[in-house]
Chain A
Amino acid sequence: MYINGKAITENTYDAIVIGSGISGGWAAKELCEKGLKTLVLERGRMVVHIKDYTTASMHPWEFEHRGVIPQKIKEENPVISRCYAFSEATEHFFVKDTEHPYEQTKPFDWIRGYQVGGKSLLWARWTQRWSDLDFEANAKEGIAIDWPIRYKDIAPWYSYVEKFVGISGNRDGLSVIPDGEFLPPMEMNCLEKHVKEQLTKQYKDRHLVISRTANLTTRHKGRGPCQYRSLCNRGCPFGGYFSSNSSTLPAAEKTGNLTIRPFSVAQSIIYDETTEKVTGVRIVDTNTKESIEYFAKIIFVNGSTLNSTLLLMNSTSSRFPDGMGNDCGELGHNLMDHNYNCKVQGEYDGFKNKYYSGRRPTGTYLARFRNFGKDKQKDFRRGYAYAAGGSRPAQSELSKIVIGETLKTDLTRLGPWKFGFSGMGECLPYHENKITLSKDRTDEWGMPILNIDAEYKENETAMTKDMVNTALEMLDSLNFKNIEDKKQVRNIGLNIHEMGTARMGHDPKTSVLNGNNQVWGAKNVFVTDGACMTSSACQNPSLTYMALTARAADFAVSELKKMNL
């Protein structure tokens, strides 16, 4: 084989990061700041902070359909059209079904954002820490495999990333969501404070707190503060929330060590049998369709859960005939997504002369209380949290039956206060919930199409029942009126917390990654996005991905210095 020495030199970096979303951005920042020349490969287009937030300052009436997605787009793209954040104001940050098809053995809504920054532009920004209740659960219950880390291993890294990200929050002293490094919290409104007090009085174990959130209540690292527009997922021209685009990538760029290559689909990771390490990554340029190889000493895989695993599965060699790191046969298995099939709301007759000003871009959080402390459930394992919140919209029931001036008056006055609970349940890891490569279909760059075969099972269904009933019961005991079960049903995947499929563990016989997110058998490859998760807990996961990434980057560079990689 003819080897072009010059091309190899030109295409060689110290590190390659595949993906630029919330975890890839962190890998890039950490590796660059530690002095490594780092190439970030991103399959989508460039999105420059502020400049490319094309809808960020538009008024509602300036959108052709006032934000509504046209019917034709909905019909052609049913999956993405089910996503709560997909609108005329944000559609340019989402992948349409027709652009990147996948196969579903059972319904799975796969929500994707292919651009520099990935879904970090679009995330909900809730950042509760995990605790040992979560890290120990698999081992205690004999479910799947044990996590190779505990809270003490990740706690300093939670602090490390929180200090950079900027998390607003209150130190509530709850062991299920340990306190972190917080900027001042946002305030609860009068109804939320009332619910918090009443819950503590009536239940003892139920604690409503302001959600810890990656929106800046003070200026932080040259960003923000939040202007309380609550238009975050259009991209924030004030840098009021954390994204790769606003935060980690500019920090990486500042070092002079960063190269970002957009329009680059990673096709496979190149393994060298003699050194038992990988040498680089083979990509396809999505514009020219050209295949190019890049080389580096360490590779971070941060393509988002399913695409990271797809890449490992497609990286076969005689050492790894079934996909890189798949000695255990678990690669692609144990896919999870949180279960949000609970939405309950009620009206409160009171606080009639109270209102609020500004649009707080977060809500309140009722921390997990099931199967914790003295609570023991016989119908399901683990637990759930509620996203909760009080608000006071215009209009009352009267608007349903009147027109004319009476209607207009009703619509320009405040109605009763409302309070809602949305359940966020843990999903267990099941070997049968899996992804595989399509046998015969490839995309336009020659990558196999992904097949997803996953569903919620008995534990999730039993938990849903309890989430709904418990929320209804709490609203009733707090004297709410017109209590309503909205009967929310979402396909697995639509909660956009897909995780697992390349899990961490103690043993190469049962896991893909070790306790430092290092691929068993290919030790200079690290997977630090949602793919690495061994269980799902019920907290929003991004903070944990960020902390694991910073921790793994630190480990990788120290191993590199010790000449172990």
Chain B
Amino acid sequence: MLRKTFINRLALGSGSALLLPAASLLQGCEYKPTLRTALTDADIPLLDELGNTIIPDTMSSPGAKAADIGEYMLVMYSDCMPWEEQNIFLNGINELDSRAAQTFSGSFVEADSTQKLELLEVVQTEATAYQLKMEKEEKTLPHYFDLLKGLTISGYFSSEIGMTQARNYLPLPGKFEAYIPYDQDNKPWAT
């Protein structure tokens, strides 16, 4: 879906954000998480920070935020996710927002990078446990964190930054060499 369509939808009210009424649960913290009924442009900063915690800036290359991961996630969520996964993803973002509020007494976006990483590492552990539990089941739905992580990875490594800086992109190889030497300092091919 184009961003314009989104904004229209927002204006029509179907995607409007509702404030959580149960402020008392949050024990007076100043940040009030929102209970979203859909993801909108307003969520891009949060998605950027989530993505950048999963794939951060490092010495060798910028992270997911620099690759506009939030915008990518929003487009893919809106246009390319089956509705069951859209629901799981949306609920997951709402949950992360309120867990951040509880844990940091603030928003995820404003937390420092150590706090962000610690929170998402807890969620990664939960997602791993969920996968183990579901291994025996025949048809399972994904954990929201796996959707978030999957989108971050697919988006980052199909972005210009991810492909040309984190990996090695050869748009026109011109030849095929069946053998070249490799050591861990070399980057893998982007595609």
Binding site for B on A (CB under 8 A): 59-61, 64-72, 186-190, 227-229, 352-360, 392-394, 399-405, 407-409, 411-414
A228 touches B188 (CB 8 A): no
> Are the C-beta atoms of A403 and B173 separated by less than 8 Å?
no
Complex CA gap A151/B152 in Å reads 54
B40 CB–A CB distance under 8 Å:
no
Shortest Cβ distance from A56 into chain B, in angstroms? 11
* Residues in chain A near residue B21, CB distance under 8 A: none
Could you tell me if B117 and A65 are in contact, using CB atoms closer than 8 angstroms? no
Q: Are A227 and B75 in contact (CB under 8 A)?
A: no
Q: Which of B58, B159, B176 contacts A358 (CB 8 A)?
A: B176
Q: Does B158 have its Cβ within 8 Å of any Cβ on chain A?
A: yes
Least Cβ distance of B25 to chain A in Å? 28
Residue of B nearest to A58 (CB): B171
Known contacts: A353-B181, A356-B177, A403-B121. The answer to whether A394 contacts B171 by CB under 8 A is no
Q: In the complex the two chains form, what is the Cα distance from A353 to B183 in whole Å? A: 6
Write the nearest CB–CB distance from A224 to chain B, whole angstroms.
Answer: 12
In contact, A65 and B80 (Cβ under 8 angstroms): yes
Checking A67, A187, A394 against B188 with a beta-carbon cut-off of 8 angstroms, the contacting residue is A394
Tell me the bound Cα distance from A224 to B164 in angstroms. Answer: 26
Nearest-CB distance from B185 to chain A (Å)? 9
Contact A402 B124 (CB under 8 A): yes
Partner of B173, one of A60, A228, A355: A228
Beta-carbon contact of B171 and A59 below 8 Å: yes
CB–CB B175/A228 < 8 A: yes
**A359 and B173 contact, Cβ closer than 8 Å, known pairs A353-B181, A407-B55, A414-B182:** yes
Q: How far is the CA of A67 from the CA of B180 in the complex (A)?
A: 29
B121 CB contacts on chain A under 8 angstroms? 403-404
Judge if B174 is at the interface, Cβ distance under 8 Å: yes
Contact in complex: A412, B166 (CB < 8 Å): yes
Q: How far is the CA of A402 from the CA of B82 in the complex (A)?
A: 26
Report Cα–Cα, A400/B54, bound state, in Å.
12
Interface residue total, chain B, C-beta cutoff 8 A: 52
Interchain nearest-CB distance for A438 vs B (Å): 31
B52 to chain A: closest residue by CB: A404
Q: Inside 8 A of A402's CB, which chain B residues have their CB? A: 124
Interface contacts beyond A358-B174, A414-B188: sample of 15 additional A-B pairs, CB < 8 Å, sorted by A: A65-B80, A71-B83, A228-B174, A353-B182, A355-B179, A355-B180, A355-B186, A356-B177, A403-B117, A403-B120, A404-B117, A405-B58, A409-B58, A411-B157, A412-B60
Once the chains bind, are A403 and B153 in contact (CB under 8 Å)? no
Q: Verify if B56 is at the interface (C-beta below 8 Å from A).
A: yes
Residue pair B182, A354 in contact (C-beta under 8 Å):
yes
**Which one, B58, B80, B149, contacts A70 given CB within 8 A?**
B80
Beta-carbon contact of A403 and B82 below 8 Å: no
Q: Establish whether residues B55 and A187, one from each chain, have CB atoms under 8 Å apart when the complex forms.
A: no
Decide if B172 touches A60 in the complex (CB within 8 Å).
no
Verify A356–B181 contact, CB threshold 8 A: no
The residue on B at minimum CB distance from A402 is B124
Contact yes or no, B181 A401, CB < 8 A: no
What residues of chain B have their CB less than 8 Å away from a CB belonging to chain A?
53-56, 58, 60-61, 63, 72, 75-76, 79-83, 117, 120-121, 124, 128, 149, 153-155, 157-160, 163, 166-167, 170-184, 186-189, 191
Query: A66 to B176, Cβ gap below 8 A?
Result: no
Q: Are A358 and B177 within 8 A (Cβ)? A: yes
- Give every chain B residue within 8 A of A228 (Cβ-Cβ): 173-176
Complex Cα gap A228–B177 (Å): 10
Residues on B with C-beta less than 8 A from A59 are: 160, 163, 171
Given contacts A68-B80, A187-B176, A414-B182, contact A61 B158 (CB under 8 A): yes
Q: B117 contacts A413, CB within 8 Å? A: no
Q: What is the bound-complex CA distance between A402 and B180, given in angstroms?
A: 30
A354 near B181 with CB under 8 A, answer: yes
Are B117 and A360 within 8 A (Cβ)?
no
A68 touches B76 (CB 8 A): yes
Most buried by A among B58, B76, B174, B183: B174
> What's the Cα separation between A275 and B45 when bound, in Å?
77
CB distance from A85 to the nearest CB of B (A): 16
> Which chain A residue has the least Cβ–Cβ distance from B175?
A358
Given A71-B81, A412-B166, A404–B53 Cβ distance below 8 Å?
Answer: yes
Q: Are A229 and B179 in contact (CB under 8 A)?
A: no
List 16 interface pairs A-B (beta carbons < 8 Å), by A numbering. A59-B171, A66-B158, A67-B158, A70-B79, A71-B81, A186-B176, A187-B178, A189-B179, A190-B179, A228-B174, A354-B179, A356-B178, A358-B175, A403-B149, A404-B54, A414-B188
Complex CA–CA separation, A411 to B173 (angstroms): 22
B159 touches A188 (CB 8 A): no
CA distance A123 to B95 in the complex (A): 46
CB-nearest residue of chain A relative to B178? A187
Residue of B nearest to A190 (CB): B179
> Are B181's CB and A408's CB within 8 A?
no
The reply to whether A356 and B160 contact each other, CB–CB distance below 8 Å, is: no
User: Are B128's CB and A65's CB within 8 A?
Assistant: no
Q: Which residues of chain A come closer than 8 Å to B128, judged between CB atoms?
A: 400-401
Contacting residue for B167 out of A188, A352, A403, A412, CB 8 A: A412
Q: How far is the CB of B147 from chain A (nearest CB, A)?
A: 14
Q: Whose C-beta in chain B lies nearest to the C-beta of A88? A: B80
Contacts of B54 in A (CB 8 A): 403-404, 407
**Contact (Cβ within 8 A) A66 B154:** yes
Assess whether A229 is in contact with B181, with CB atoms less than 8 Å apart.
no
- Asked if residues A189 and B124 are in contact (CB atoms below 8 Å), the reply is no
Contacts of B191 in A (CB 8 A): 60, 359
Q: Which residues from chain A contact B61 at a C-beta distance below 8 Å?
A: 412
**Quick check: B188 and A408 within 8 Å, CB to CB?**
no
Verify B173–A229 contact, CB threshold 8 A: yes
Query: Are the CB atoms of A72 and B79 closer together than 8 Å?
Result: yes
- A-B pairs, 7 with minimum CB distance: A358-B173, A358-B176, A187-B178, A355-B182, A394-B188, A357-B177, A228-B173
A69 to B53: give the CA distance in the assembly, Å: 28
B177: chain A residues at CB < 8 Å are: 356-358
For the complex, what is the distance from the CA of A355 to the CA of B189, rounded to whole Å? Answer: 10
**Residues of chain B contacted by A65 (CB below 8 angstroms):** 75-76, 79-80
Given the contacts A71-B79, A408-B166, A357 and B180 also touching, CB distance less than 8 Å: yes
Are B79's CB and A394's CB within 8 A? no
Tell me whether B178 and A229 are in contact (CB under 8 A): no
Q: Is B157 touching A188 in the complex (CB atoms < 8 A)?
A: no
Q: Which residues of A contact B181 (CB under 8 A)?
A: 353-355
